[in-house]
Amino acid sequence: MYEHDVIVVGAGGAGLRAAIAANEAGADTAIVSKLHPVRSHTGAAEGGINAALREGDDWELHAYDTMKGSDYLGDAPAVETLAQDAPEETINLEHWGMPFSREDDGRVSQRPFGGLSFPRTTYAGAETGHHLLHVMYEQVVKRGIQVYDEWYVMNLATSDEPDPNDRECHGVVAYDVQSGQIEGFKANQGVVLATGGPGQAFDHTTNAVSCTGDGHAMAYRAGAPLEDMEFIQFHPTSLPSTGVLISEGVRGEGGILYNAEGERFMFEYGYAKNDGELASRDVVARAELTEVGEGRGVNDEYVHLDMRHLGEERILDRLENILHLAEDFEGVDGLVEPMPVKPGQHYAMGGIDVDENGQTCIDGLYAAGECACVSVHGGNRLGGNALPELIVFGKRAGRHAAGEDLGEPEIETGYGDDVEDETDADLPVQPGAAGVGSSGDVAADGGVATGVGSLERAVERERERVDRLMDKDSGVQHAEIRSKLQNAMTDYVNVFRTEDGVKKALSIIRECREEYQDVYVDDPSRTFNTDLQQTYETRNLIDVAETIALGALVRNEFRGAHWRQENQIRDDENWLKHTLISWDGGDPSIFYRPVILEGEDKTYEPKERSY
């Protein structure tokens, strides 16, 4: 058993920032991560960090753009905190050695990004996330923060009161990938989940194989609701064959989108008459798929992104990485030909329900970064707003977990007074673990139960679960289930959603859950057993995918990235509210919480969103 004051799960941008903050607040802090810190997915971030740094810009403008971008589903206290704190946190990165790109006069460069009214995206070439990770990891090493890397966190240990609002988190159970050892990590003050996104729930994604929604699923099963999971961002410029991202920085620098007829369709067909290619991501993704659907796509699949006119010097200076990605992953030379691009799953706006201090409804359990929903991004995230979220809310979560008083949060979590009644949605299948037989892994390993009582008991349960998975000689392999799940999500819960399609996805997810009862681990080794780890991850993906599809089914309106064929309008009268889904002992329930539009000095009145 290991013991620390604060345990941070995950070593991406959010986890590193949380750990540094907890350490600075005086807590004995440790990071537990399935990857070495600098291999975390934050390293893939290309385009930059939004922060109002320049004369002519201010945090109010940033907050306004973010609320508008969110399609008025962001909570104003969180959005304003992000916009207010991002400049100081970005300057702090600079002081830690972040090699931001610069103008000739020495000022840090900023470029335009989609949905921004001011060019406020600060960047380090097209490798912003890579530098961010290295700079922060250096700070972690400098402070002597203990890092347990290549330790896979399997579950949380929480107390087992019937009401999740009364539960406490005691620590985590983790598996040492190198030795196969399973151990408890006791957290005397708090556990901060910073486990990143769930992109692997989809087949075509810009996310790494490590983005499996582990934190989402663990918090959900422990009793913390997941919020706004239906809001998935599909980035308009991913490479068709691999999903590898071509940064929005290309359009920010002046890159142009063309259809197969050579038309600049964003303007020609009126998708975004003012901002064209730099409209918000949801707008551009829908426009591209409409072009393809109406027969103007290239090879009936994608459109072209052209940056040749920017010239070799500028491309090499600001977008060199993009040239390598296009060449290596698509065999295209961006200096002499346009790059093929299409929408790919990119980001989860929703996540673990937390307040401005990163706290969930479970005492001592925090979440920050992409796995959390505070909610800053609402229905649609603006490019360049995830990285400031990591550093602003990662820091807050770390400080609060270490015992610092950050004031009363304005955002509610869990099952508060302002929660509407549960909805009785018309579901095609029984979601969750309930109804699944008791012989298999899902039910028998505690998939139904939530709080496990104590850390010792939690450790014991994971050891038994691994023994069960390894002792089995035959059954279904996780990879089969995973690819069925991913295909269903990409086919039916993509940019354009229909009620029938989402119901079909839910039925397939149900089949995946049932097949998972017969899952087995083929690799008998106890060391570096990726088969075992991925079997765990696949189970998490099933739980997370189900919440995405459930949210997509009940939200019968068109807001931000969530489009529904049956109701193609934003329905503020009925839907200015967050969707929350709680595991409820394996029988998920859905409830709602009103969005907070009242900021410090003003109310963000919902307006028509045009670009």
Token pair recorded at residue 354 = 């937390």
Of the listed pieces 6-14, 225-233, 478-486, 600-608, which binds ligand FAD according to CB under 6 A?
Answer: 6-14
CA 387/CA 45 separation, integer angstroms? 8
- The region of 7-15, 88-96, 479-487, 578-586 touching ligand FAD under the rule CB under 6 A is 7-15
Instruction: Give the Cβ contact number of residue 337 at 10 Å.
Output: 12
Single out the segment in contact with ligand FAD by CB under 6 A; choices: 138-146, 190-198, 404-412, 415-423.
190-198
**Residues 6 or more apart in contact with residue 317 via CB below 8 angstroms:** none
Mark 486-505 with x for binding to ligand FAD (rule: CB under 6 A) and - for no binding.
--------------------
Per DSSP, the residues of 438-452 read SSSHHHHTTSS----
Cα 182 to Cα 459: distance, rounded to the nearest angstrom: 7
Choose the stretch contacting ligand FAD; rule: CB under 6 A; options: 20-28, 35-43, 353-361, 426-434.
Answer: 35-43
Residue closer to ligand FAD by CB (options 138, 161) is: 138
Instruction: State the Cα–Cα distance between residues 135 and 34, nearest whole angstrom.
Output: 20
Copy the structure tokens of residue 277.
């290619």
DSSP bridge pairs for 187: 4
Exposure class string for 554-578: b at 16+ Cβ within 10 A, else e: bbebbbbbbbbeeeeebeeeebbbb
d(C-alpha 180, C-alpha 466), whole Å: 10
Please give the span between the terminal C-alpha atoms of the chain, in angstroms, as a whole number: 54
Q: Which residue lies nearer to ligand FAD by CB, 39 or 503?
A: 39
Does position 18 bind ligand FAD by CB under 6 A? Answer: no
Please report whether residue 535 would count as binding ligand FAD according to CB under 6 A. no
Determine, following the binding rule CB under 6 A, whether residue 206 of this chain makes contact with ligand FAD.
yes
Please return the burial class of 504, using the count of CB atoms within 10 Å of its CB with bins 0-12, 13-18 and 19+: middle
CA distance 90 to 70: 22
DSSP labels, 197-261: --GGGSSSBSS-TT---HHHHHHHHHTPPEESTT-EEEEEEE-TTT--B--THHHHTT-EEE-TT
Give yes or no for residue 350 binding ligand FAD (CB under 6 A). no
Of 209-217, 293-301, 316-324, 400-408: span binding ligand FAD (CB under 6 A):
209-217
Which x/- pattern over 371-390 shows residues binding ligand FAD (rule: CB under 6 A)?
A: x------------xxxx--x
- In whole angstroms, the minimum distance from the beta carbon of 191 to ligand FAD comes to 11
At 404, list the tokens.
């610092």
Stretch that binds ligand FAD, among 37-45, 102-110, 483-491, 554-562 (CB under 6 A): 37-45
Please report, for residues 90, 211, 235, the alpha-carbon distance to residue 232 in angstroms, rounded to integers and kept in the order given. Answer: 26, 14, 10
Q: Which of residues 145-184 bind ligand FAD (CB under 6 A)?
A: 152-153
Nearer to ligand FAD, 347 or 520 (CB): 347
Q: Which of 111, 251, 281, 570 is catalytic?
A: 281
285 binds ligand FAD (CB under 6 A): no
User: Which of 6, 7, 8, 14 is in the footprint of ligand FAD by CB under 6 A?
Assistant: 14
The minimum distance between CB 390 and ligand FAD, in angstroms, equals: 5
User: Per-residue contact track with ligand FAD, 557 to 596, x per CB under 6 A?
Assistant: ----------------------------------------
281 included as an active-site residue = yes
Residues 52-81 that bind ligand FAD (CB under 6 A): none
Q: Please, what is the minimum distance in Å from the beta carbon of residue 600 to ligand FAD? A: 24
To the nearest 10 degrees (0 to 180), the angle between helices 214-222 and 530-554 is: 70
User: Considering the rule CB under 6 A, would residue 343 count as an interface residue with ligand FAD?
Assistant: no
Select from 8-16, 102-110, 293-301, 567-575 the region that touches ligand FAD (CB under 6 A): 8-16
> Helix (H, G, I), strand (E, B), or coil: what is residue 13?
helix
Q: Which is nearer to ligand FAD, 200 or 259 (CB)?
A: 200
Tell the smallest beta-carbon distance from residue 245 to ligand FAD (Å): 4
Cα gap 465→568, rounded to integer Å: 45
Assess contact for 247 and 299: CB atoms under 8 A: no
Give the separation between CA 400 and CA 138, rounded to whole angstroms. 23
- Specify burial of residue 410 (Cβ count, 10 A radius: 0-12, 13-18, 19+): middle
Does residue 12 interact with ligand FAD by CB under 6 A?
yes
Q: Which of residues 83-142 bind ligand FAD (CB under 6 A)?
A: 128-129
Of residues 315 and 508, the one with the C-beta less far from ligand FAD = 315
Q: Select from 4, 22, 30, 34 the one that contacts ligand FAD (CB under 6 A).
A: 34
Q: Say if strands 226-227 and 577-582 run parallel, antiparallel, or are unpaired.
A: antiparallel
Three-state DSSP at 146 gives strand
210 is an interface residue for ligand FAD by CB under 6 A: yes
Least CB distance from residue 331 to ligand FAD, whole Å?
19
What is the number of the residue whose Cβ is closest to ligand FAD?
A: 12
Per CB under 6 A, residues contacting ligand FAD are: 9-15, 32-35, 40-42, 44-48, 128-129, 152-153, 194-197, 206-207, 210-211, 214, 245, 346-347, 369-371, 384-387, 390
Which amino acids are annotated catalytic?
A: 281
